[in-house]
Structure 1
Amino acid sequence: MNKNTVKYLEMIQTVINRLASNSFQFKGWFITLIVAVNIFDLNQAPFNKIYVIILTTTIFLFMDVYYLYLERLYRELYNAVLLGKMRDFDMNINLFKSKRLYFKTYNSISAYPYYLVLLFILLWKLFK
């Protein structure tokens, strides 16, 4: 493997690491926002809180899964570079986009359990 390929792989790996850290940040922001929603009363009506909790959970879930999808696309690029299928320093991930990978990402076990379990706990606590 030549020096350019190694640098190219390091560059792709940097992008993958940055995208992977977004998942951790989204989960931290989600917890912070949910705590803030529970601290404020939202006009004393529990249904307003339910809507905010469900909307917040949905938005953060989709953002987290979208960044996971991008991360997987860059992993595909990384693998293509390892196999010698890509020219040096081409960061175009459009070649790897597919509906199969997109929907497979939405079925990821790394996002749904976290958000859905917290949503269930929050709604259960709200109606308790």
Structure 2
Amino acid sequence: MTEETNGKPVQQLDHHKHMDYVQAVINRLAGNSFLMKGWALTVSSGLLGFAVSGNKPLLALVAALPALVFWIQDTYFLRQERAFREMFDDIAAQNLVGFKIKPGPYAEKQSWKIFWSVSLFWFYGSIVGVSLLVWAVMAFSVSAARVQPHLLNW
């Protein structure tokens, strides 16, 4: 089965192959997002572990930084993934012909407000929140120990 586009016949198999290419990019972006979450949890947990074991409250505060960096990176991947999904829909509806894979116009439509999406906010926000909580508890414990050392010796 062929269709006429720009004076050239486009095979139905070519159309589906174009969709496969874009779907492969979507899958890769989703995999990258999964890796970002794994690295964020690993690095932040490691820093929190060192902070608690070494009694270093400032290191607990630093543990929030990798989570924030990975959160921004993951936001970029999610924006790109949504752009490619929109492109995929246009290819499926045959609104986009040829083998062009240019996400630019689609990415421009995607807002950075995705940063606050439920899937990102609860994951990365909880890492940042736990880091801040550990920092606050440790900072209070250290300052309380300096003021009244007998309160911490039960």
TM-score by length of 1: 0.86
Unpaired runs of 5+ in structure 1? Answer: none
Q: What's the counterpart of residue 13 of structure 2?
A: 3
**Greater C-alpha Rg:** 2
Aligned residues: 126
Give the drift of 1:41. 4.2
Give the drift of 1:44. 4.9
Q: What's the CA shift string for 1:42-64, capped at 9, x where partnerless?
A: 975412431x2222121010011
Give the drift of 1:7. 0.7
Residue pairs, 1:61-100, within 5 angstroms? 61-98=71-108
Unpaired runs of 5+ in structure 2? Answer: 2-11, 138-154
Equivalent residue letter for 1:46: P
Give the drift of 1:108. 1.6
Q: For the residues of structure 2 that align with 1:54 and 1:122, how far apart are their CA atoms?
A: 6
TM-score by length of 2: 0.73
Task: Report % sequence identity.
Answer: 27
CA RMSD of superposed structures (Å) = 2.1
Q: Does 1:102 align with 2:81?
A: no
The answer to which structure has the higher strand fraction is 2
Q: What's the CA shift string for 1:81-108, capped at 9, x where partnerless?
A: 112121221001112133x522342232
